[in-house]
């Protein structure tokens, strides 16, 4: 027997579906179910997630940046895309709602959400949709299994960072270079030197970095240059306040150099320590800060951006990454704290340093559907 809840109160009910997208999780909304005004929409999202509060005890957020995300989906413009997706990065402890960067993990949940919410109909045994991520204008094609025109979630694909296996969702990115930044290498250099004073010792510090954006603005640093290994555990790195202070100081300098202005309140650029792989099958070892806590795995577009640095001559990853085979299609295995992330990158031999396509596999599924209840003070009742 099903049970219907009734509600007659000063809480406002907003339809949504809680989705896992890759190694992230958050509520997905139809754009028509949220306020059109951006400030009002942000208030509604903050209330839905329970931010700001480190534990997000009064909302859906999971007290971590990877579970403080929301997706907003609508039909795309004919001739341009089947679906339009806006990704919103919230934070547990502050009141920012950032729709400037992309999130390739939440992106994986867009097609299942669109099918489940009736925004799009399944095509046949396999459904493919072109998705425009409005955050940066990025286009991709997403493919999932829909036997009998029903989404299938069970399957054999495993992604590190998520227990078990599920049906694969394939994402083909069409154009990722320079997402938030003006170009793939926003300073025009494959390596820049970042000069800071160590915030704890006051000692001057000069560190070589690759400032790069192939879908995600990132600062790549050789772990050895900071007397670390990039094999440390997430807990060790999160407890390493000396390292975190240096990384944040480097990030502020890098943000200005990348043309991003003052990034002190922004969730990007992400900071990534790199090292030669310890596992023979991997191409590179990574530990990513997003940007102040260490990622348990690595973001999707972060992995694409690191992979891109591996195949670009002259970056800090050159001489660190172990590449097998010789283009134009490179398979890069990016090792991270909970396993590895394989990305396929296609380069154009006629244009050295250009990536014409990137592809990867994720899994995603709806976890719960219903209505999130937010105080009417955050979005007044009609």
Least CB distance from residue 294 to ligand NQM, whole Å? 11
Site for ligand NQM contains 109 (CB under 6 A): no
Question: Which residues, numbered 166-205, are part of the site for ligand NQM (CB under 6 A)?
Answer: none
Q: Which is nearer to ligand NQM, 76 or 104 (CB)?
A: 104
| Residue number closest to ligand NQM, CB atom | 299
Residue 111 CB, shortest distance to ligand NQM, in Å, is 16
Asked if residue 300 binds ligand NQM (CB under 6 A), the reply is yes
Both tokens of 127, joined, read 């459904």
Q: Within a 10 A sphere around the Cβ of 71, how many other Cβ atoms?
A: 23
**What are the b/e assignments for 274-309, b being 16+ CB within 10 Å?**
bbbbeeeebbbbbbbbbbebbbbbbbbbbbbbbbbb
Query: DSSP assignment, residue 189?
Result: -
- Minimum CB separation from ligand NQM for residue 151, in Å? 21
| The pair of three-digit structure tokens given for residue 110, joined into one six-digit string | 């867009």
The answer to whether 117 and 71 have CB atoms below 8 angstroms apart is no
Shorter beta-carbon distance to ligand NQM: residue 115 or 294 = 294
Sign of the C-alpha dihedral, residues 269, 273, 276, 280?
negative
* Spatial separation of the C-alpha atoms in residues 284 and 233, rounded to whole Å: 16
Q: Contact with ligand NQM (CB under 6 A): which of 216, 226, 294, 306?
A: 216
CB of 354 to ligand NQM, least distance (A): 20
Segment lying near ligand NQM (by CB under 6 A), choices 96-104, 129-137, 278-286, 356-364 = 96-104
**Contact pattern for ligand NQM over residues 19 through 48, marking x by CB under 6 A:** ----xx------------------------
Q: Nearest distance from residue 266's CB to ligand NQM, in Å?
A: 11
Instruction: Determine whether 96 is exposed, middle or buried from the number of CB atoms within 10 Å of its CB (0-12, 13-18, 19+).
Output: middle
Binder of ligand NQM out of 103, 184, 282, 285 (CB under 6 A): 103
Binding characters for ligand NQM, 53-92, by CB under 6 A (x = yes): ------------xx--------------------------
Residue among 111 and 374 whose Cβ is closer to ligand NQM: 111
**Which of the 8 DSSP states describes residue 193?**
E
Residue 104 binds ligand NQM, judged by CB under 6 A: yes
Q: Residues 188-220, buried b or exposed e (16+ Cβ, 10 A)?
A: eebebebebeeeeeeeebebebbbbbbbbbbbb
Burial 334-355 (b: 16+ CB within 10 A, else e): bbbbbbbbbbbbebeeeeebeb
**Helical (H) or strand (E) element with 243:** helix 241-257
Contact residue for ligand NQM among 299, 307, 337, 339 (CB under 6 A)? 299
Does residue 358 belong to the site contacting ligand NQM (CB under 6 A)? no
Of residues 229-288, those binding ligand NQM (CB under 6 A): 267, 270
The CA-CA-CA angle for residues 50, 302, 283, to 5°, reads 140
Q: Is 136 in the site for ligand NQM (CB under 6 A)?
A: no
Smallest gap, in angstroms, from Cβ of residue 337 to ligand NQM? 12
* Nearer to ligand NQM (CB atom), residue 109 or residue 115: 109
How far is C-alpha 198 from the chain's CA centre? 29
Name the nearest CA neighbour of 223 among 281, 277, 287: 287
Window contacting ligand NQM (CB under 6 A); options: 122-130, 295-303, 309-317, 369-377: 295-303
Q: Does 302 bind ligand NQM (CB under 6 A)?
A: yes
**Contacts to ligand NQM from residues 326-345, by CB under 6 A:** none
Tell me: does residue 290 bind ligand NQM (CB under 6 A): yes
Task: Report in angstroms the alpha-carbon separations of 218 from 28, 280, 298, 312.
Answer: 26, 25, 12, 15
Q: Which residues, 6+ apart, have CB-to-CB distance to 264 below 8 Å?
A: 252
Strands 204-213 and 83-90: unpaired
Nearer to ligand NQM, 59 or 217 (CB): 217
Size of the site for ligand NQM (CB under 6 A): 16
Query: Which residues are near ligand NQM by CB under 6 A?
Result: 23-24, 65-66, 102-105, 216, 267, 270, 290, 299-302
């Amino acid at each position: 027997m099903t049970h219907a809840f009734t509600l007659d109160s000063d809480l406002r009910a907003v339809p949504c579906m809680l989705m896992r997208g890759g190694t992230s999780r958050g509520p997905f909304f139809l754009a028509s179910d949220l306020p059109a005004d951006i400030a009002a929409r942000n208030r509604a999202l903050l209330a839905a997630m329970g931010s700001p509060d480190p534990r997000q005890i009064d909302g859906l957020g999971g007290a971590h940046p990877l579970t403080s995300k929301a997706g907003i989906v609508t039909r795309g413009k004919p001739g341009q895309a089947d679906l339009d997706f806006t990704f919103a990065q919230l934070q547990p402890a502050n009141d920012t709602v950032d729709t400037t960067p992309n999130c390739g993990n939440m992106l994986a949940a867009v097609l299942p959400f669109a099918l489940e919410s009736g925004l799009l109909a399944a095509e046949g045994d396999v459904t493919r949709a072109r998705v425009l991520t409005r955050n940066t204008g990025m286009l991709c094609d997403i493919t999932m299994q829909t036997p009998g025109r029903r989404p299938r979630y069970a399957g054999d694909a495993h992604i590190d960072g998520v227990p078990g296996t599920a049906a694969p969702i394939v994402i083909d990115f069409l154009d990722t270079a320079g997402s938030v930044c003006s170009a793939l290498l926003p300073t025009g250099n494959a390596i820049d030197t970042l000069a800071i004073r160590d915030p704890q010792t006051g000692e001057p510090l000069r560190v070589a970095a690759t400032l790069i954006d192939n879908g995600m603005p990132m600062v790549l640093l050789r772990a050895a240059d900071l007397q670390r290994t990039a094999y440390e555990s997430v807990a060790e790195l999160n407890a390493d306040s000396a390292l975190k202070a240096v990384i944040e100081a480097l990030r502020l300098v890098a943000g200005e150099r990348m043309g991003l202005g003052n990034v002190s309140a922004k969730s990007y650029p992400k900071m990534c320590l790199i090292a030669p792989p310890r596992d023979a099958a991997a191409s590179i070892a990574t530990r990513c800060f997003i940007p102040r806590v260490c990622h348990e795995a690595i973001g999707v577009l972060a992995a694409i951006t690191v992979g891109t640095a591996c195949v670009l001559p002259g970056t800090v990853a050159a001489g660190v990454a172990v590449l097998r085979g010789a283009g134009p299609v490179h398979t890069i295995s990016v090792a991270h704290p909970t396993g590895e992330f394989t990305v396929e990158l296609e380069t154009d031999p006629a244009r050295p340093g250009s990536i014409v396509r990137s592809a990867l596999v994720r899994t995603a599924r709806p976890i719960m559907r219903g209505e999130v209840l937010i105080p009417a003070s955050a979005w007044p009742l009609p």
